[in-house]
Structure 1
Amino acid sequence: MSTFTEAQAALLDEFSFFDNWMDKYQYIIDLGKTLPAFPQAYQTPEYKIEGCQSNVWMHIELQEGQLHIQATSDAAIVSGLIALLLRLYDGQTPADIMATRPEDFLSAFGLDKHLSPTRSNGLAAMLQQIYTYAQQTS
């Protein structure tokens, strides 16, 4: 397992190969295609993320001191954003997550400037869910 900082550095390195945002969007979409299957049992209102224009479900649980996150969406770009979040936050401890600032992640990738307002709101809602769970379990 890598730390948040290591995972972010690896993703930023991958993103540096692309010269423009169209290519970066395509890469994000491609990442979304690699999401593991999401259990049907969690596709219920209890796990649905409010604030997303598309349908997003997220299940988080604490196992052996680490948060394990599963999520899915019915939208390609949002699935890719979920894949980014999973690479950064899945397997981290609640304390490690609480020590990071989501706005740093957003600006490091340029997502704060290149996502539509509705996608930004959805990403913020997913981040809020992760941070709320981390705070409640730390």
Structure 2
Amino acid sequence: MTLPAKLTEIIEDFEAVEGQDKLQLLLELSDELPALPAELAEHPELLEPVPECQTPLFLKVDAADAEHVRLYFSAPPESPTTRGFASILHQGLDGESRQTVLAVPEDFYLAFGLGEAVSPLRLRGLSAMLSRIKRQVREAQQA
């Protein structure tokens, strides 16, 4: 599986810990999710909902620059698992090229080894986020 270096580094961090420490790492990542820029915070209608997530999550992809895709997420602070997943995608893919983002396998999240700490339903939310990101990138390519 070929992944961007930043995403590979996050996976390696998860591989280095066991059991509940994986969940703790996910919760730490949730604190690192950046706030929305003012232009998106003031216009939440510009964000796409991800209803597959168990808690409200919204995202926006700016793929106008083929070499530097920008990702933006909005998730409530009381939803640390969802925020952690968004933070993984932000840290791992923000600033990468369209081609790099599109090349990420749909099931890349299995490498985190979170199956015992997080429900399959929550993991599907992460997969849904990636699917929406890729769709928005493909739409930008066609524009």
**Equivalent position of 1:59 in the other structure:** 60
3-state SS of paired residue (2:69): strand
Correspondent of 1:116 among 95, 109, 119: 119
Question: Cα deviations across residues 1-40 of structure 1 (Å, max 9, x unaligned)?
Answer: xx943123211222233122x1111111111111111242
C-alpha separation between the residues in 2 aligned to 1:121 and 1:112?
11
C-alpha separation between the residues in 2 aligned to 1:71 and 1:125?
13
1:93 positional shift: 1.4
**Equivalent position of 1:91 in the other structure:** 95
C-alpha separation between the residues in 2 aligned to 1:45 and 1:118?
26
Q: Does the alignment pair 1:49 with 2:61?
A: no
1:79 positional shift: 0.3
C-alpha separation between the residues in 2 aligned to 1:123 and 1:130?
11
C-alpha separation between the residues in 2 aligned to 1:42 and 1:49?
17
C-alpha separation between the residues in 2 aligned to 1:4 and 1:51?
24
Aligned residues with identical type, % of pairs: 23
**Superposed CA RMSD:** 2.2
Question: Cα deviations across residues 35-92 of structure 1 (Å, max 9, x unaligned)?
Answer: 1112423533852222222000111112432210010212111100111111222111
C-alpha separation between the residues in 1 aligned to 2:4 and 2:109?
13
C-alpha separation between the residues in 2 aligned to 1:36 and 1:67?
16
Consecutive unaligned residues of structure 1, counting only runs of 5 or more, are: none
Question: Cα deviations across residues 103-132 of structure 1 (Å, max 9, x unaligned)?
Answer: 1x1221124565313312321221111111
1:95 positional shift: 1.4
**Equivalent position of 1:11 in the other structure:** 10
**Matched pairs, number:** 134
TM-score using structure 1 length:
0.83
**Equivalent position of 1:131 in the other structure:** 134
Correspondent of 1:107 among 93, 110, 115: 110
